[in-house]
Chains A and B, each alone.
Chain A
Amino acid sequence: MTTIDTPPQTAPTTSGAGHALSSVAEWITTTDHKRLGRMLIGTGMIAMLGIAVVGGLLGFERIDAATISLNANSITQLFSIYRVGLALFAVLPVMLGLAVAVVPLQLGARSLAFARLAAAGFWAWFFGMDLVILSIIANGGPGGGTSKFVALFIAAFGVMLGGLTMIAISLATTVLTTRAPGMNMRRVPLFSWSVLVTALGLILMLPVAIGTVIYLYVSYRYNRVPFGGNQGILDYIGFSVTQPQTYLYALPAIGFAAEMFPLAARRRMPMRGFVLGALGLVGVAGITGVTQVQHVLPWVGSKLYLGHFGKKFGDLLDYGFFNALPVIGAVLVLLIGPLAFKGGRPKITAPLVFGVFGLGMILMGMLGGLLYGVLDLGLQGTVFEEGAYVYVCYGAILTTLGAVTYWGPKLWGRKLADKKLLPLALLGALATALASLPYYIAGFADQPANSVTFAYSGPQGLWNTLATVGHGLMVLTVAAFIGLALQGFRKGELAGDDPWDAHTLEWAMSSPAPDDNFAELHTVMSAEPLLDLKSSPDLTSSPELKSKRENA
């Protein structure tokens, strides 16, 4: 079905148990992008809660490095599930879910391209994730002792990656082929643009990881020596759950934050082309995954002396391309975005605050990732990398909470109360900083990564206590947000069609968005079609719009 076809009408349902059953069946078999997106976001958020609890448990275990309260054999598996889960159970699915739900609306499309492929991708990811968790519980996974469950872990991991690749293919095709008339690539909303870059990056990178998983699986079944058996799994697939790969997963969050600046200023984004380019630069992180190699600055000790400029230039170029370009992209977004506020006072809303805090946290993680690659700092193998990882992942989740707040009215028809969300944004930012920053400090003190027994001079108990509290606060933040969302999106105030006085196409339709999104196709003349309309002479004199702006 192409996106300009009218979708088939669903059959009328019966009442009572039959109605409930058919409703469940509708959700299971749905190809509606808004439902699929919500399923991904919901499942990812619940997974996020679980993973943050695991993070807290591991932090707690490291407070007293002399004793182990958890089963020693479980430690490696807990580290594995924490590492794999935060990126691939929570951050990436939530980002893709947001994209699946919102991108067709932003583009003026009636549905997602290859919606059935996206639905198949969701279920592949969902069952893959369940099997990964099951295999870990049954003593499988990296470092696991039960052979068949280690094999199950590897296979399920591959299925999960395959599912995410399917969703990425669907999203990339959507942005490339279903844009409204007049919406050329320069006019694509910043969030959708960041989704396109992410999807293309994932299409380049995830299959490389799948190829490695195929080798690992065959090796584990027939000849474990070459790939290290159960201990070698993360050595080969670990690149998909570390920096700079995580920047690619967090890229839609950066795109969302970029979109919030002009919205808060009620102006067009200045230097929009540069922002598009900057988001593209962050996408360079995807190429790192293709190389499957960590790109470091290998000058240590005697190699630091002046000389061998050609070799050093080569090292710097390699390190800079793979590590620094994504950071430059994010910095540019953070520098250019606030230029929209010039000459006016921005309207502070919960999505803006979540977005700015989230972007700040992601940037902190990126800067940490940049330092981690400098071998002379001696951070390799320490928890410093975990600090960067948590900064990026929690920052992306924080931004997503803002994005759900922002697009919630279009998905559920109701708006969440800003007053309740603003303190939550502050709590989330504090949680992220507490869960990450102590590991930066502990990393400089040589606290080893993926280990709960260590000794170094300094307040090691303090850093690990702070990190544990940070994970706990993050659980609280996400749980409170889920609670507020469940309440607000069911019983909150009706949002109206354009509650944010927004600029992009999705706000031109009724809230919640109807089944086939746009009844009619619209012509787009700029990157901010609604702003064009609102600033047209006919509408600026409209009392309805004036009162709406005053209320906003």
Chain B
Amino acid sequence: MLALPQAPTPPARRQLFVGTAVACSAGFTLIGGMMGLWLRMRHRALSVTDGTWVPKKISIPEVPSNIMLLSFIGIGVFAQWAVYAARRDDKRHVAIALGLTGLLGIAVINAQVAVYVHMALPIRSADGSAYGIMFYAATGTFIAFLIIGIVFSFVTAFRYLGGRTSEREIVTAHAIYWYFAAAAFTMLWFVVYVTK
């Protein structure tokens, strides 16, 4: 066996942080791809004579969708607050920040459900329109991301508050995840609720 020069133990390379960022890129392209196909189907539906995309009699409630977008500003601030507090070993503030992040995540799901209830959009369409299935598929996928984020918040809280305070990296990774969720929702909001 050939003997190479031995190295001292290297500093940690923030594996969780990098891994989360890479996974978030995958999530971003998933939502991006869905939005791309949304726009293509929308273009196809509108390019025929008298073509419609959003079914008639369906109104898209703008207040809850805008509130969802605004909620992500709060989520970003709270997630970063957790990072800030973790750097100062302030467990109480970390707990409050993570709790508020998770709570706002739940609030966003609640707002999405309110959109569903208000729209009363049938998933099956008599005229063969793709709008219903694409609306539920896209927003449903994003709800899955929100649930993952809320679980992430709780796992981060359990690990950090359970005494593993040296693992600040998970708090940073948690913040990265929510930034990704905010960016993905901004894209979804613009395509689904603004461009329609």
Residue of A nearest to B1 (CB): A497
Chain B residues whose CB sits within 8 angstroms of the CB of A523 once the complex forms: 4-7
Cβ contacts A to B, 30 pairs, < 8 Å: A2-B15, A113-B19, A176-B13, A177-B13, A177-B18, A178-B13, A181-B7, A203-B22, A203-B26, A204-B26, A207-B27, A207-B33, A211-B33, A211-B141, A212-B34, A214-B141, A218-B136, A222-B124, A223-B130, A223-B132, A225-B128, A226-B41, A290-B32, A497-B1, A508-B4, A509-B1, A521-B9, A521-B10, A522-B7, A529-B4
Among A169, A178, A219, A533, the residue within 8 A (CB) of B26 is A169
Instruction: Tell me if B118 is interfacial: C-beta within 8 Å of chain A.
Output: no
Chain A residues whose CB sits within 8 angstroms of the CB of B141 once the complex forms: 211, 214
Chain A residues whose CB sits within 8 angstroms of the CB of B194 once the complex forms: none
Q: Which 6 A-B pairs have the closest CB atoms?
A: A208-B33, A226-B130, A225-B128, A207-B30, A522-B4, A211-B34
C-alpha spacing A176/B10, complex, angstroms: 14
A505-530: which have CB < 8 Å to B?
505, 507-510, 520-525, 529-530
Q: Is the CB–CB distance between A210 and B30 below 8 Å?
A: yes
B residues apposed to A, CB below 8 Å: 1-10, 12-15, 18-19, 22-23, 25-27, 29-34, 36-37, 41, 123-125, 128-130, 132-134, 136-137, 140-141
What is the 8 Å Cβ interface bit string for chain A, positions 162-185, against chain B (1 contact, 0 not)? 000100111011001110111000
Chain A residues whose CB sits within 8 angstroms of the CB of B128 once the complex forms: 223, 225-226
C-alpha spacing A529/B5, complex, angstroms: 10
Q: Is the CB–CB distance between B7 and A290 below 8 Å?
A: no
Q: Is the CB–CB distance between A218 and B15 below 8 Å?
A: no
Known: A180-B7, A223-B132. A204 touches B25 (CB 8 A): yes
Q: Is the CB–CB distance between A4 and B9 below 8 Å?
A: yes
Which applies to chain B's interface (DSSP): helix, strand, loop or mixed? helix
Instruction: Kindly provide the distance from the CB of A52 to the nearest chain B CB, expressed in whole angstroms.
Output: 31
Q: Is the CB–CB distance between A173 and B37 below 8 Å?
A: no
Instruction: Tell me if A206 is interfacial: C-beta within 8 Å of chain B.
Output: yes
Q: Is the CB–CB distance between B133 and A205 below 8 Å?
A: no
Which applies to chain A's interface (DSSP): helix, strand, loop or mixed? helix
User: Which of B6, B23, B32, B125 gathers most chain A CB within 10 Å?
Assistant: B23
Chain A residues whose CB sits within 8 angstroms of the CB of B133 once the complex forms: 215, 218-219, 222-223, 226
Q: Is the CB–CB distance between A290 and B1 below 8 Å?
A: no
Q: Is the CB–CB distance between A215 and B137 below 8 Å?
A: yes
Instruction: Tell me if A77 is interfacial: C-beta within 8 Å of chain B.
Output: no
Chain B residues whose CB sits within 8 angstroms of the CB of A219 once the complex forms: 130, 133, 137
Residue of B nearest to A215 (CB): B137
User: Which of B3, B22, B124 gathers most chain A CB within 10 Å?
Assistant: B22
A residues apposed to B, CB below 8 Å: 2-4, 113-114, 117, 165, 168-170, 172-173, 176-178, 180-182, 203-212, 214-215, 217-219, 222-223, 225-227, 236, 290-292, 497-498, 505, 507-510, 520-525, 529-530, 533-534
Chain B residues whose CB sits within 8 angstroms of the CB of A522 once the complex forms: 4-7
Residue of B nearest to A522 (CB): B4
Q: Is the CB–CB distance between A173 and B22 below 8 Å?
A: yes
Q: Is the CB–CB distance between B10 and A533 below 8 Å?
A: no
Instruction: Kindly provide the distance from the CB of B175 to the nearest chain A CB, expressed in whole angstroms.
Output: 18
Q: Is the CB–CB distance between B4 and A2 below 8 Å?
A: no
Residue of A nearest to B6 (CB): A520
Q: Is the CB–CB distance between B34 and A173 below 8 Å?
A: no
User: Which of A165, A223, A508 gathers most chain B CB within 10 Å?
Assistant: A223
Chain A residues whose CB sits within 8 angstroms of the CB of B29 once the complex forms: 203-205, 207-208, 290
C-alpha spacing A207/B37, complex, angstroms: 13
Q: Is the CB–CB distance between A207 and B26 below 8 Å?
A: yes
Other A-B pairs, 5, CB within 8 Å; known A169-B19, A169-B26, A223-B124: A4-B10, A113-B15, A181-B10, A211-B30, A520-B7
C-alpha spacing A236/B137, complex, angstroms: 16
C-alpha spacing A204/B31, complex, angstroms: 11
C-alpha spacing A484/B22, complex, angstroms: 39
Chain B residues whose CB sits within 8 angstroms of the CB of A212 once the complex forms: 33-34, 37
C-alpha spacing A48/B78, complex, angstroms: 50
Instruction: Kindly provide the distance from the CB of B85 to the nearest chain A CB, expressed in whole angstroms.
Output: 24
Among A178, A204, A209, A530, the residue within 8 A (CB) of B15 is A178
